[in-house]
Structure formats: C-alpha cells, structure tokens
A and B are shown apart, each in its own frame.
Chain A
Amino acid sequence: MSGHGWWNKGNCSNNRANVYNCLYEWYTDNTWRQKACSPTAELRPGGGRGNRTTARHACANTLPTSWRNHVDVDVIGEIDTSEWPYNQANVACRVY
C-alpha cells in the first residue's frame, strides 16, 4: 500500500515546500487511523520525479478497506493555509 505527496505552486511566490504524506485506514468505530507517513522532503512544485514523497505500509491481507492519503504542504517562507487535503480510495489491502 503506498501513497504519494506533492504540490502545485498555484499563486505562491516561493518555489520550495516541505511536504510529507500519511496513510490512514478506516476503522469500524468511524475513525481514521494513521498507518504510515513519508519522511518530510523539500520539494519543487509539479510532482515530477524526485519531487514526490511516498508513504508505504505492507498489507496484512487483501480484504477491501478504505484508505485516505493526506498530504501536508508547508511552502517555505509563506504563511500557511489550513487545508489538509486527502484522496480516499477502497483498496484490497488491510493492515492491523
């Protein structure tokens, strides 16, 4: 199980950001539990090779499970906004 993190420049002025991403697994008590995070990396925008982070976790089995991949972006030298964007998917990968 893996997820990537990257950023697009949008209307930011600076060309570098500290980025990491984390994988969260859904539990039947309606919580999302963190299972893996990438190291934080200083990235240029665009999401190309060398400008993505990767969080990984080995699957215990292939039961269908809901996952979220959250990406945190801190543009260097600029005031952060508060969003914590994610994509959600059902994946044949379960972790305990």
Chain B
Amino acid sequence: MPERSVTTQPGMVPAASRTAGTMFAALYGELVPHAGHDPEHDAYQLFYQRSLAMGWLDDSSAGGGLEEGMVRATGLWGMNDAGWSHPLAAPGSALTSWFQVEASAVADDRPLPVQPFLRCAEDTTERVGTLNLSTVQILLPVQGLDPSSRPPYAAVPSMQTVDWFAACDLRSRTPVEVGINSGRDPSIPALAKQLTGHLGDLDQDVFVCSSHDIAGQDALVPPPFDDRLWNGPPRHGVVLRGQLAEWSCDAVGWLAEVVADSVAQLGFRSPLLFTVTRAQSPG
C-alpha cells in the first residue's frame, strides 16, 4: 500500500466556485415510446441539449480549450448524468427517467432551480414518448440554501411566482401525497408541525395541506441512487396530504422550492428527499 504524504492530500481548489450540491430527479409512471424513436438520442444527450438550449446549463467551470479566457455561460446547473433506467431503481417502481446535476450556487433572491430542472426532465422524457406521470422524486440540496442571505422581499423566493398557478382551472386541482424525508437525520419529523404551519401561513394555495403523518421508509418509492449521495436510507420523514393546483412538474417543482426554503428557515441544512405522488381521486 503506497504511503500518503502527510502534507499533500486530495482536496478542494481554494478558489473553486461554490455550488449548492447534487440535485437528482426521478420521474415515474408509464412511458409509451413514440414510433420510430432512435435510441441513440438518449436521456443524457437530450437533457444536456435541452438544458443548453434553454440557457440553464452552467459552463463556467469549462477550460482547457482554444477558447481559454472566453466568457463562459453561468447557469443553473452542471450536467452529471441521466438515463431511462437505473441499476439502483427498485424493481417494479415504474421509473421512466432520471437526471442528476450539480446545482450552481443559488442567488440570494432566487429559489433552488427545481422548476427549470423538472422542465428539462419532463421535456426530455416526453421527447421520446407519451408520459403518464404518477410520481416525481427529487433530491433537494437544501444545504446549499442560506436563509440569512434572503432579502425581505424574497424570504421564500418562489412566492414571487405564485400567480402563475392562480390562473389554473379549479378543476385541475389534484389530490397528492408529498413525502419529505431527511434520511437518517430525524429532523424532519420533528419539524413537521412547524413546516405545515409555515406552508399554511404563506399566502398561497398552490398546495393546500389537509393532513400530515410521520412516515418512514415504507411510505416512499425507494430512491434510485446510492445512500451516500445524501443522508440515506430514507428513515425519517413526513407525508403531507392535500391538493395541488394542477398535476404538473411545474407545480411539483414550485412546491419543492417552497418546501426547501421553508425547512431551511427552520434550521434544516442537509439534502432532502422530496417525493410527490398523484393520489387516486375519490370516486
């Protein structure tokens, strides 16, 4: 076994730009592929190109090219990986696609970019087939949020865009279950009452919570990534039940952004597993 130098170790470049952390999305449901889809155009390629086209791909860490010194695009995330299937997906979980990025540092008056992230994820998936979405699961890098840096006009930045959902048809309201899990950290069950109170105090009806329960591992679709990527496995969580303004990745993303900021305000500072499942409508 080689000896390690006492003074020289792997580490972080001192001047490296700060990032928020790993953000992961898994979409579940039924995907009926379009006829004639060329499998060469896979989730990785399509998500990368969609992110680039929308101007959301962060290229500021690139270097080494003939264009050294050029102005690079700052963006919302850097690409990690993506796919249709995943070796860690639970058997029978109906995973249709997954996407992993490194979220860029979050601006003081902006949310984690969950809505644009899910926009690219959904666009990518629907590019190859017709998607009937049943569950959206997201790993939120809450540790990348600093509530003390939020200006008063954007204490919960996503509240600045709440009226986008005010235009939803009332008939679009959809019953959902929202799983919020802190993994091995027992914080989230302890914060459940404060969290639901906080959501209720916000001037929003994108998500109206009707009840909540403490929930553990059995209440969740097991996430298709290694426990070491966060604080897994998902042992400690809550499930909120209520109505979402519409069953869309936009509404799920908005709610994820609000929950991330809310738990950060309550002192939570770790990756959070956030899972929204469309509940069966009564009758």
Which residues of A does B touch, CB under 8 Å?
Answer: 2, 4, 25-29, 46-52, 59, 62-66, 70, 81-92, 94-96
Which residues from chain A contact B11 at a C-beta distance below 8 Å? Answer: 26-28, 65-66
Residue in chain A with minimal CB distance to B4: A96
Which residues from chain B contact A25 at a C-beta distance below 8 Å? Answer: 10
Interface size class of B (residues with CB under 8 A): 20 to 34
User: Is the pair A83, B10 in contact by a Cβ cutoff of 8 Å?
Assistant: no
Interface string of B212-248 (1 = CB under 8 A from A): 0000000000000000110000000000000000000
- Given A50-B40, A89-B78, A90-B16, the answer on whether A95 and B61 have CB atoms closer than 8 Å is no
- Please report the C-alpha to C-alpha distance between residue A3 and residue B155 in the assembled complex, in whole angstroms: 37
**Residue B41 at the chain A interface, CB threshold 8 Å:** yes
User: Is the pair A88, B61 in contact by a Cβ cutoff of 8 Å?
Assistant: yes
Q: How far is the CB of B77 from chain A (nearest CB, A)?
A: 11
Which residues from chain B contact A26 at a C-beta distance below 8 Å? Answer: 10-13
User: Is the pair B4, A90 in contact by a Cβ cutoff of 8 Å?
Assistant: no
User: Is the pair B12, A47 in contact by a Cβ cutoff of 8 Å?
Assistant: no
Q: How far is the CB of B188 from chain A (nearest CB, A)?
A: 21
Residue in chain A with minimal CB distance to B1: A96
User: Is the pair A47, B65 in contact by a Cβ cutoff of 8 Å?
Assistant: no
Partner of B45 from the list A29, A48, A96 (CB cut-off 8 Å) is A48
12 contacts between A and B (CB under 8 A): A29-B8, A47-B44, A52-B44, A63-B10, A66-B12, A66-B16, A85-B63, A86-B64, A88-B13, A90-B16, A92-B228, A95-B10
- Please report the C-alpha to C-alpha distance between residue A61 and residue B63 in the assembled complex, in whole angstroms: 27
Q: How far is the CB of A2 from chain B (nearest CB, A)?
A: 7
**Residue B35 at the chain A interface, CB threshold 8 Å:** no
User: Is the pair B9, A64 in contact by a Cβ cutoff of 8 Å?
Assistant: no
User: Is the pair B78, A87 in contact by a Cβ cutoff of 8 Å?
Assistant: yes
- Please report the C-alpha to C-alpha distance between residue A50 and residue B39 in the assembled complex, in whole angstroms: 9
Residue in chain A with minimal CB distance to B5: A29
- Given A82-B66, A87-B78, the answer on whether A27 and B45 have CB atoms closer than 8 Å is no
Which residues from chain B contact A94 at a C-beta distance below 8 Å? Answer: 10
User: Is the pair B64, A92 in contact by a Cβ cutoff of 8 Å?
Assistant: no
- Given A27-B8, A27-B9, A89-B102, the answer on whether A47 and B22 have CB atoms closer than 8 Å is no
Of the candidates A51, A52, A85, the one having the most CB atoms from chain B within 10 angstroms of its own CB is A85
- Please report the C-alpha to C-alpha distance between residue A86 and residue B63 in the assembled complex, in whole angstroms: 5
User: Is the pair A89, B61 in contact by a Cβ cutoff of 8 Å?
Assistant: yes
Of the candidates B13, B62, B81, the one having the most CB atoms from chain A within 10 angstroms of its own CB is B13
- Please report the C-alpha to C-alpha distance between residue A6 and residue B59 in the assembled complex, in whole angstroms: 16
Q: How far is the CB of A71 from chain B (nearest CB, A)?
A: 9
- Please report the C-alpha to C-alpha distance between residue A47 and residue B50 in the assembled complex, in whole angstroms: 13
- Given A48-B45, A51-B40, the answer on whether A70 and B64 have CB atoms closer than 8 Å is yes
- Given A46-B45, A90-B12, A95-B10, the answer on whether A85 and B65 have CB atoms closer than 8 Å is yes
Q: How far is the CB of B6 from chain A (nearest CB, A)?
A: 11
